[in-house]
């Protein structure tokens, strides 16, 4: 149906008795139809046609309004979706910025300066990044020596260079140079003293909680380290103390490595007595082997003189 471009109800029925319509009337005049009747016939045809056009116009107007409403709805939805996308992008950028510049966004309580003994522990960026990713990291960074090293080498992020590294999802991210490399003075857990181990554990647990580790994992590690400390308290020889720290390090590394595997990890807080005895036996054999080497060296030296 051809589209109408004006309202047919505004049209006025012409005078079909006038001269311009003489030819139209003549074509209808017959012996039984007069010229006046022919004019009435033309008028009836025009009125019928106009009424049909008026009906079409009204339908067309309703359809146009429906289309305008639908187009407006789609436009509003598109605008709302665009606004939501902009808002999401803005929130994502702000979240990335807060994560990148975490110190700038930390809330500061309205209080006097705390005592020096209450100051927050400053830990290596490298160790904190390992904690944030859920990876194994040496307890050294939370000992008094490790904390002192972090204080002495601390620089603001703006003063540091940025280096690329690979994130857990395979994408490239930029981190501070300090956060990408371990301390050159790091001490393996097995070589810590019992005092250093006891210093590090509470700080390490606080760091795990601060970085939103699952409560179950934090509880397991806290109980595991508590059991290690209790076991240390029951032994007196240096060899036994070393065996316990070696067991702690090996068990924690194996536990962290097993978490992403198909079989998963285990409750590390349950002490594996058999593994602990094997570790003790290994340490004893190593020490005995070293003693034999020393004895042989001394004997050979004596024979030379």
| Mean pLDDT of the chain, nearest integer | 86
Question: What are the distances in angstroms from CA 11 to CA 14, 185, 210?
Answer: 9, 98, 81
Q: Give the β-pairing of 162-166 and 172-176.
A: antiparallel
Quick one: pLDDT at residue 174? 46
Model confidence, pTM: 0.56
Residue 305 has pLDDT above 80, yes or no: no
Helix-helix angle 194-210:125-133, to 10 degrees: 60
What pLDDT, in 10s, does the model give residues 204-214? Answer: 999 999 999 99
8 Å CB contact between 39 and 16: yes
Quick one: pLDDT at residue 158? 45
Q: List the beta bridge partners of residue 165.
A: 173
CA distance 193 to 204: 16
Quick one: pLDDT at residue 163? 52
What pLDDT, in 10s, does the model give residues 231-290? Answer: 988 888 888 999 999 999 999 999 999 999 999 999 999 999 999 999 999 999 988 888
Quick one: pLDDT at residue 151? 81
What pLDDT, in 10s, does the model give residues 124-177? Answer: 889 999 999 999 999 999 999 999 888 887 654 444 555 555 555 555 554 555
Quick one: pLDDT at residue 156? 42
**How large is the average pLDDT for residues 6-11?**
94
Residue 23 has pLDDT above 70, yes or no: yes
What pLDDT, in 10s, does the model give residues 88-136? Answer: 999 998 888 887 777 777 788 888 866 655 456 688 889 999 999 999 9
Residue 35 has pLDDT above 80, yes or no: yes
8 Å CB contact between 42 and 28: yes
8 Å CB contact between 201 and 225: yes
Strand intervals (E) in the chain: 162-166, 172-176
């Amino acid at each position: 149906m051809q589209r109408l471009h004006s309202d047919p109800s505004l049209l006025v029925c012409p005078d079909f008795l006038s001269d311009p319509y003489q030819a139209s009337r003549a074509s209808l005049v017959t012996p039984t139809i007069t010229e006046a009747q022919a004019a009435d016939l033309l008028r009836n045809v025009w009125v019928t046609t106009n009424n049909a056009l008026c009906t079409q116009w009204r339908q067309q107007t309703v359809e146009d309004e429906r289309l305008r409403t639908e187009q407006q709805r789609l436009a509003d939805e598109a605008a709302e979706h665009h606004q939501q996308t902009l808002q999401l992008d803005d929130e994502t950028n702000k979240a990335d910025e807060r994560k990148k510049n975490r110190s700038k966004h930390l809330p500061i309580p309205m209080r006097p300066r705390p005592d020096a003994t209450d100051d927050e522990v400053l830990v290596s960026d490298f160790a904190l990044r390992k904690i944030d990713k859920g990876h194994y990291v040496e307890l050294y960074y939370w000992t008094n020596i490790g904390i002192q090293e972090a204080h002495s080498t601390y620089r603001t992020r703006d003063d540091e260079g940025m280096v690329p590294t690979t994130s857990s999802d395979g994408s490239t991210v930029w981190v501070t140079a300090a956060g990408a490399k371990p301390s050159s003075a790091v001490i393996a857990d097995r070589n810590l003293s019992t005092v250093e181990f006891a210093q590090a554990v509470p700080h390490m647990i606080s760091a795990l909680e601060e970085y939103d580790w699952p409560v179950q994992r934090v509880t397991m590690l806290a109980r595991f380290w508590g059991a290690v400390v209790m076991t240390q308290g029951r032994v007196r020889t240096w060899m036994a103390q070393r065996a316990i720290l070696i067991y702690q390090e090996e068990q924690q590394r194996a536990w962290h490595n097993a978490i992403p595997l198909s079989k998963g990890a285990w409750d590390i807080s349950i002490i594996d007595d058999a593994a602990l005895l094997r570790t003790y036996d290994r340490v004893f054999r190593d020490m005995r082997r070293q003693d034999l080497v020393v004895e042989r060296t001394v004997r050979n030296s004596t024979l030379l003189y």
